[in-house]
Structure 1
Amino acid sequence: MTKASDAWIDVTPMSYVNSEASCTIQDRDTVDDTNKTERRMDRPILKFYQYKDRELSSHLLSQLNDLRHERILTDVLLCSEGREIPCHRNVLVSSSPYFRAMFCSSFRESHQARVDLKGVASGILGGIVDYVYTGSLTITMDTVLPLMQAASMLHYPRLFEACSAFLQEQLSPDNCLSMIRLSQMLHCGSLQERARDMAVRSFSDVAASEDFRELSLPELMCYLEDDGLCAEEEQVFETLLAWIHHEPFSRRGAIHDLFRKVRLRYIHPTYLFQFIANDPLVQSSTLCTEIIESVRRLLFSVGAKWPRELGPLWVTPRRYTCREALVVVGGRKNGERTSREALLYDEGTQRWQWLAKLPVRLHRASYVCIHSILYVLGGLTVGAGDSVVSTTVYTLSLKTNQWRTAEPMLKPRYAHQSVSYLHFIFVLGGIGPEKHVCGSVERYNSMFNLWEPMAPMPTPVLHPAVAANDQRIYMFGGEDAMQNPVRMIQVYHITRNLWCRLEARTVKNVCAPAVTMEDKIYIIGGYTRRMIAYDTKANKFVKCENMKERRMHHAATAIDNKLYVTGGRCISGHDVIEDSDSFECYDPKTDTWTSKGTLPYKLFDHGSLPLFCVSNKPYPP
């Protein structure tokens, strides 16, 4: 029994398994079909299927074009210059409001089998019919104008704009003014806008063209009034002179109206008083000479306000195309030799570009910008085993990217400070040939290319923070000859040539730059992370967001109401002094600092300045 039972137990599971396997093999397809059916029953049943044949329209056009060529079902002949072009009315009606009005209204053409289209050349008409049936047409310089005229007449706007796009690709400074006139005749707004944009942005080249001299007075006035005109004000003046001299007898009376469009505030005083003021055309106009004399009185008396008649002319802002570019020059490079490098930062590409090198290596020179010219003043020239304190002044203009020498200073000095105000450059303090800290001050008048001594500072200091605002020069802190911090503000009144001193416990900066923005003077670091702003109107200090590191011997400048700080020497948490290549920006609106990347190399005791340039012109190679 036991064996029989065991045998039964052994056999039964085997039989079950074999049966199950057999069932699975035989009915697998049935089971799969059942599962698929159940899945299909779970999904929603589509009530319709939207089919779109994307090739039908092009195929249909192709077939209609074949019918046209074989003259099958054509019911109208378009005629021009003796040529007959068979067409289908329904195709023409569907393609243009012009033909729809012609064939679907009570015009006599709706019943005619032959329609004459006057004013459209046969070749142009044939091309347009081909375009209607194929959607394709070749445009050339020989056919573009009659095509545009025909497309305008027959109401084919896309073909009209295709012709406009073709002409826009042919635009150049030599033909953009002609294109503007053409666009006005054709009422083509897209071509006119593009051509005018080129005329404004390539004004230098356009002004030299023959078409420019043929402009009417209102047209020229419109260009000179444009804030987007890519030109310096000296060139604007020279351009209007060239326009007048083209037809002097009929145009010389316009000199006053044109002269008022020149933004005199942004012209170098030397150019204004030596060239413009002495031009015969300007001298022939009483109104022009009165404007120049008003500017002369304003600049000669520093504290004077502009006359009422000069006000609108003097407060006109710079043209939008004139932008400030950051230039970094000189200093100590990578902790080694004094650098001759000059770098320009391109905000668009966020890259640094090398300018022409300084002629000599200058240790602790001063740097200032006036009339879009960079000045490097004095410094210690280091030669082979010898060093000389210099009076030399070097200048750099982005127009030429060449260094030149200007009138030298009255006294040799280095480690001094320079600041510009109106057409003046002030040089303050420093160290002379005797290695003593000096308090002398001298002023450069850019109108007369002349240096003159001014009242010396009350307390000679080294490395103060210096900035100018509202007819005053402010000198914050610094250190004396014994390297002790000086806690005071020394203020120089420009119009009165007078100094005063203010004790200020808040001031304790050394080797820190100062920058003026909107009646506030920002003092950045100086052996500290601290930045404070002195409100010149309220006569009080305002705390600002600290820098990320303790910094000294760095440089700072303001561009577009933002503060840019470059390089310097940083003090780590372990009081280790390291050279820096940092490049940071401070926004006074948000009181925040952001990184702008790094300088190409580590740098300190350098200059950082804004230079104006015309935005459409490439930077110097």
Structure 2
Amino acid sequence: MDEESSEGLLFKDHDFSSDLLRQLNDLRQNRILTDVSICSGAWEVPCHRNVLASSSPYFRAMFCSNFRESREAKVQLKGVDASTLERIVLYVYTGKAHITVESVLPLMEAASMLQYPKLFEACSSFLQSQLTPSNCLGMTRLSEIFSCETLRKKAREVALTYFPEVAASADLKELCALELRDYLGDDGLCGEEEKVFEALMVWIKHDLQTRKRYVQELFKQVRLQYVHPAFFHHFIANDALLQSSPPCQTILETAKRQVFSLYGTTSSAGLQPLWHVPPRNSYQDFLILLGGRKDNQQTTRDVLLYDGQTGRWQSLAKLPARLYKASAVSLHRSVYMLGGMAVGKSVPTAKVYIFSLKLNQWRPGQPMLVARYSHRSAAHKNFIFSIGGIGEGHEVMGSMERYDSVGNVWEMMASMPVYHISRNTWFKMETRMIKNVCAPAVVLGERIVIVGGYTRRILAYDPQSNKFVKCADMKDRRMHHGATVMGNKLYVTGGRRLTTDCSIEDSASFDCYDPETDTWASQGQLPHKLFDHACLTLQCIPHHSTVP
């Protein structure tokens, strides 16, 4: 835009530069005023020294110093082939370069040598657009050769994001030990620990005699506490290569105690407990609602997932059956749906269904020993405890059974009231504070939090001090609702509420409690009104169905 001032008008011709460059290219093509030929072998491209010198520091030094090239009529460029030279000169005179799969590498190398940084980055951007899990490790090597940080970062991002596919590529076997350790130890690696272990073993066995000395250092990068106990038991614990390394044996023994033992987690002297190693930050918490009664108060097979990162709800594969007051629990990146009463039948079931979020699929599990509904379930290490409920004769039960996910078996345990895991015993707690009815309870930090139940009141129990503490009240008097913990916050879903005139209304509310500020905040609404549903948190790595 032209600028006016008290002294006159400043005219700006915005097309002048491009017109000038176009005319210079016409002069070059017609060999008018050209004073130097840039050569690649027998191939010659006539140019203007002043244009080349203005385009890059490389040619400025060549033609504006006392180098012999400043006086020669022909200048040989070693390491640049004829077609690449033509593309470079065309870029100098037009600002345009056609980059293809075939031309990108020699063009990028020439742009680096001749000091054309924008052309260099354009080549880098093109290579980034071509990245796949099968070539990203090779691209990383290439980025190091060219000292191209943008390509290196993107190639590494693809390698970490699509690690299961990358682990299957031939390039993984060619990494050096330091490179592999760098990938396996990265918090951003998107892959289950089982896949990390498998990748490690494939790499070592590719050249066993040379690489077995690295097994201890690389095995430390596998975060064993996040490995499925069945996989640990069958494929890791008795691996011959690991057993041949005393340091690896020590790690295995510590892991066995921490993963399988119900009697404590004391580790070997000088060895940091495995539980102190954080999960990879690619793991994500999802809130899942299962079954319950929806708008028309009919028992539903719906399964809903809430993604806290996007704030969106989505529907998942429906429950295999309409189950009234079944119990649900998450264990090892799967959801277990236990018991309940099948709609239309008057007796509870002992059936178990297992849901994989990665596959979005249900499958039958090992049935419980006792049919029950209106019961509660809890997960601990590789076990699920199914507690109480109502039995086949509609009697209230005090029994408990335990599922071992490694052995895939159920066994009866001591009956209620308050259970001590390591002693397999119950004891009774006396308190006048708990009057909550139809209230869920969750573990939030170091405390057990009882949420509502025909009341707005929230109680937090500290097992260490054996005391109850009152938290901030909910907005409504709620019952038959769901509650779970994501991160360090409590989420409450749906349920029924008592109005001011003591009538009961179904609810679609979705609220969050922050223990640090002792405050509640609305998270919006559920997709529909819902109560008597299962509500839980499932931690897993989102499945990447597409590649960049």
TM-score normalised to structure 2 length: 0.93
1:359–1:84 Cα change, 3 Å: closer
Q: Which moved more, 1:501-510 or 1:163-172?
A: 501-510
Q: CA deviation at 1:423?
A: 2.1
1:616–1:410 Cα change, 3 Å: closer
1:182 equivalenced with 2:142 (yes/no)? yes
1:394 equivalenced with 2:344 (yes/no)? no
**Structure-1 separation of matches of 2:100 and 2:410:** 64
CA contact (8 A) 2:482 2:533 kept: yes
Q: Which residue does the alignment assign to 2:475?
A: 548
1:95–1:450 Cα change, 3 Å: same
Cα deviation digits, residues 328-360 of structure 1 (max 9, x gap) = 112123243322222212334433222222222
- CA-atom RMSD, angstroms? 2.1
Q: CA deviation at 1:45?
A: 7.4
**Structure-2 separation of matches of 1:195 and 1:506:** 58
CA contact (8 A) 1:201 1:616 kept: no
**Structure-2 separation of matches of 1:397 and 1:312:** 29
CA contact (8 A) 1:335 1:579 kept: no
* Counterpart pick for 2:386 among 427, 434, 455: 427
Q: Which moved more, 1:569-578 or 1:79-88?
A: 79-88
1:413 equivalenced with 2:372 (yes/no)? yes
**Structure-2 separation of matches of 1:279 and 1:57:** 70
* Counterpart pick for 1:88 among 24, 48, 59: 48
**Mapping of residues 163-202 of structure 1, within 5 Å:** 163-202=123-162
* Counterpart pick for 1:154 among 105, 114, 121: 114
**Structure-2 separation of matches of 1:602 and 1:93:** 72
* Counterpart pick for 2:317 among 342, 356, 360: 356
Q: Which residue does the alignment assign to 2:272?
A: 311
Q: CA deviation at 1:126?
A: 2.1
1:310–1:395 Cα change, 3 Å: farther
CA contact (8 A) 1:335 1:603 kept: no
Q: CA deviation at 1:260?
A: 1.7
CA contact (8 A) 1:531 1:544 kept: yes
- Partner of 1:556: helix, strand, or coil? strand
- Partner of 1:503: helix, strand, or coil? coil
TM-score normalised to structure 1 length: 0.83
Q: Which residue does the alignment assign to 1:474?
A: none
1:66 equivalenced with 2:26 (yes/no)? yes
Cα deviation digits, residues 32-68 of structure 1 (max 9, x gap) = xxxxxxxxxxxx9712332221111111111222222
**Structure-2 separation of matches of 1:340 and 1:613:** 23
1:402–1:83 Cα change, 3 Å: closer
**Residue type of the partner of 1:245?**
K
Q: Which residue does the alignment assign to 1:382?
A: 343
How much identity, in percent, do the aligned residues show? Answer: 56
1:308–1:404 Cα change, 3 Å: farther
- Partner of 1:332: helix, strand, or coil? coil
Q: CA deviation at 1:556?
A: 0.5
- Partner of 2:485: helix, strand, or coil? strand
CA contact (8 A) 1:321 1:616 kept: no
1:597 equivalenced with 2:521 (yes/no)? no
CA contact (8 A) 2:358 2:542 kept: no
- Partner of 1:49: helix, strand, or coil? strand
**Mapping of residues 12-411 of structure 1, within 5 Å:** 46-298=6-258, 299-308=260-269, 310-311=271-272, 313-383=274-344, 386-411=345-370
Q: CA deviation at 1:309?
A: 5.0
1:279–1:45 Cα change, 3 Å: closer
Q: CA deviation at 1:312?
A: 5.2
**Structure-2 separation of matches of 1:66 and 1:357:** 68
**Structure-2 separation of matches of 1:413 and 1:75:** 94
* Ranges in structure 1 where 5+ consecutive residues have no aligned partner: 1-43, 459-490
1:456 equivalenced with 2:415 (yes/no)? yes
The count of residues paired between Structure 1 and Structure 2 equals: 542
**Structure-2 separation of matches of 1:162 and 1:172:** 18
Q: Which moved more, 1:74-83 or 1:301-310?
A: 301-310
Q: Which moved more, 1:156-165 or 1:108-117?
A: 108-117
Q: CA deviation at 1:129?
A: 1.4
Cα deviation digits, residues 511-540 of structure 1 (max 9, x gap) = 111111211222211001122322333433
Q: CA deviation at 1:157?
A: 0.7
- Partner of 1:272: helix, strand, or coil? helix
Q: CA deviation at 1:593?
A: 2.3
CA contact (8 A) 2:450 2:460 kept: yes
Cα deviation digits, residues 549-571 of structure 1 (max 9, x gap) = 11001010001112111111111
CA contact (8 A) 2:442 2:483 kept: yes
Q: CA deviation at 1:91?
A: 1.3
1:295–1:378 Cα change, 3 Å: same
- Partner of 2:134: helix, strand, or coil? coil
1:582 equivalenced with 2:509 (yes/no)? yes
**Structure-2 separation of matches of 1:296 and 1:160:** 52
**Mapping of residues 466-505 of structure 1, within 5 Å:** 491-505=418-432
Q: CA deviation at 1:226?
A: 0.8
**Structure-1 separation of matches of 2:251 and 2:505:** 54
**Structure-2 separation of matches of 1:421 and 1:142:** 56
* Counterpart pick for 2:489 among 545, 548, 562: 562
Q: CA deviation at 1:389?
A: 2.0
**Residue type of the partner of 2:445?**
E
* Counterpart pick for 2:448 among 521, 527, 541: 521
Larger radius of gyration: 1
Cα deviation digits, residues 129-184 of structure 1 (max 9, x gap) = 11111111211122111111111111111111111111111111111111111111
1:521–1:182 Cα change, 3 Å: same
Cα deviation digits, residues 394-417 of structure 1 (max 9, x gap) = 211223333223332232222111
1:617 equivalenced with 2:539 (yes/no)? no
1:406–1:192 Cα change, 3 Å: same
- Partner of 1:564: helix, strand, or coil? strand
- Partner of 1:344: helix, strand, or coil? strand
1:442–1:58 Cα change, 3 Å: same
**Structure-1 separation of matches of 2:355 and 2:244:** 35
**Structure-1 separation of matches of 2:231 and 2:545:** 24
**Structure-2 separation of matches of 1:231 and 1:271:** 15
- Partner of 1:228: helix, strand, or coil? coil
Q: Which moved more, 1:597-606 or 1:138-147?
A: 597-606
**Residue type of the partner of 2:476?**
E
CA contact (8 A) 2:262 2:421 kept: no
Q: Which residue does the alignment assign to 1:464?
A: none
Q: CA deviation at 1:616?
A: 4.9
- Partner of 1:608: helix, strand, or coil? strand
**Residue type of the partner of 2:362?**
W
